[in-house]
Each structure stands twice: as C-alpha cells, then as structure tokens.
Structure 1
Amino acid sequence: MGLAKLNELYKEVILENAQHPKHYGDLPQATGKLQLRNPTCGDVINVSVLIDHDQIEDLSFSGSGCTISQASASLMTMALLHQPVSRARELVMAFSHLITGESITSTDEDALGDAALVGSVAEFPARIKCAALAWHAVDEILGQKGADFND
C-alpha cells in the first residue's frame, strides 16, 4: 500500500474511532477499573475490565481527551476484547513497541488490527503518551490483579 493511501486510511480509522468510539462507557460489573491522566495535554481515561477465567470478557473506556487518545482507547478495546490476560499483556507490549518506533512481529501486528495504524504516532513523540494512555491503564489493571482473575 502506498504511503498516501496508508496516511488516508490512518486518518479515516483515527477519526472514525474518535468520533464514534467502540465500547465507550462504564462496566458496573467490572473486576478492575483504573483512571489515568496525561498531564501534558489533559487527557483523562477510565478503563473498566471484566475478567472471567483468565480472559477479558468485557472491556470499556470513558473519559475525555484528544482525538488520538480517544481513538487509541477505542481501538484497544477491539484488539483486547476476548483475549486471554497473558495474550492481552503481550499485545499491550507490542503496541508500546510499535508507537515508539520499534518493530513487532507480523502475528502481533495482525492481532492488533486497526490499532497497529496508531504506530505512526512514533513520528510525533509528543503524541505517544496520548496513544498509550488507555493501554497503560489496562496493562496496570491486568498486572495488579493477574492471579485474582482465575476464578
């Protein structure tokens, strides 16, 4: 795919997910919740996760922020929903590598789906924190509660 088409696809995916986010809202039955803030630009993300038998059964976010933070959170929910906790944490790490300009495996890139398009934010270091905010929140939830989710 040519660079111009890739840039256009990036814009479409980011704008669509920022304007019409997937899995936006609160999960009252969540087994883990966390709010993170990006003091640099004012983004606030609330992430709620429902884990059952070591798998993400439901995942949502709410909050406010820039287009990149909102779109990235929406794309995160689609990439991680129904993943085993261990695989979800691997995908969070892969996403982190991608947005900092590192390469990832094609398997991880495929698993990230449209979220992999956010990797181009690596060209704009000031926006990396925006893209990573929701992903950091879900990783912190999964890391804190890891063993507790095996009920």
Structure 2
Amino acid sequence: MAKRPTRKPFTGKHMTLILVAGFTVIVGVNVFMATLASRTFGGIVVENSYVASQKFNTWLDEARREEALGWQVAVARRGDGRLQLELTGAPEDAQVLAEARHPLGHKPDQALTFTRGSDGTWASDAVLPEGRWTLRLRVETPEGAVWRTERAVL
C-alpha cells in the first residue's frame, strides 16, 4: 500500500503572508501610478473654476461667431524650425499671434508673431524648439473680427 504524502496545515502565518504580499503589490502599484500622474500633468486647466463657469456661455457665443467666419488654418514646421501657416478665408491685413504651450508644462510657453510672406503663407518670427506643442492661434482684423483656434504641432 502506497503512503500518501502529508500536507502541512494552512495556518494564520500563511494567511498573514498572503495578505501582506497582496497589499504590498496594491500599494506599490498605486504609488507608482500616482508618481507618474503627478510628474506628467500639473492638474490646472483653469485657475478658478467658478469664474470659468460664469464665463462659459460667453465663450460659447464667441466660438459660434468665430466659426461663422469660416476661416481655416494649416500648420507646418519648416526646415529652419520656424512655423508656417496657411490661413484661408482671413483678410490679408489680419494680424496673427500665437502662444505655443508644451502639453505637459515641462517647457515654458513661447509667444510667437507671424509675418505674411509674398506667397500668402505666414511664417513665425522665432524658432519653436523641437517636440510636441499646442499652438493657440489668434487672428485679428483691423475691423475687430477675432478668430481663435488650437492646433497640435509635432
């Protein structure tokens, strides 16, 4: 007759080790994820959410007026590091301003102005450093029309 192997009893020590190991993994993953989150996003979308909520309907009205203008823009990075815009629908005497923001806030914002070239495109006055940027464009006409948009620049 074959002898059966005997099992050691499951004790409180075993359960304690399982619980400690499980919670150690959970806490470790949470600390890791929180560290990644806090290093990649500053968390500020607007400075004061109450004030922003009071202006929301005004912003919607402005967006509708800007959309009704029908202007379009295409953004490209030139070989010399400056940005080039193809702005359609806007008058030739418009003024183009922009603010380039790093999406994660790791680099300081860059203020850019654009000059219209003889070929009808607009070129930035300064070089935009390599990397991913969000370009906030503002086009103004002497008559007071304002058009704003955002474009990603890679």
Going by fraction, where is helix more abundant, 1 or 2? 1
Higher relative contact order (CA 8 A, sep 6+): 1
Give the structure with higher Rg (CA).
Answer: 2
Going by fraction, where is strand more abundant, 1 or 2? 2
TM-score if structure 2 supplies the norm length? 0.27
TM-score if structure 1 supplies the norm length? 0.28
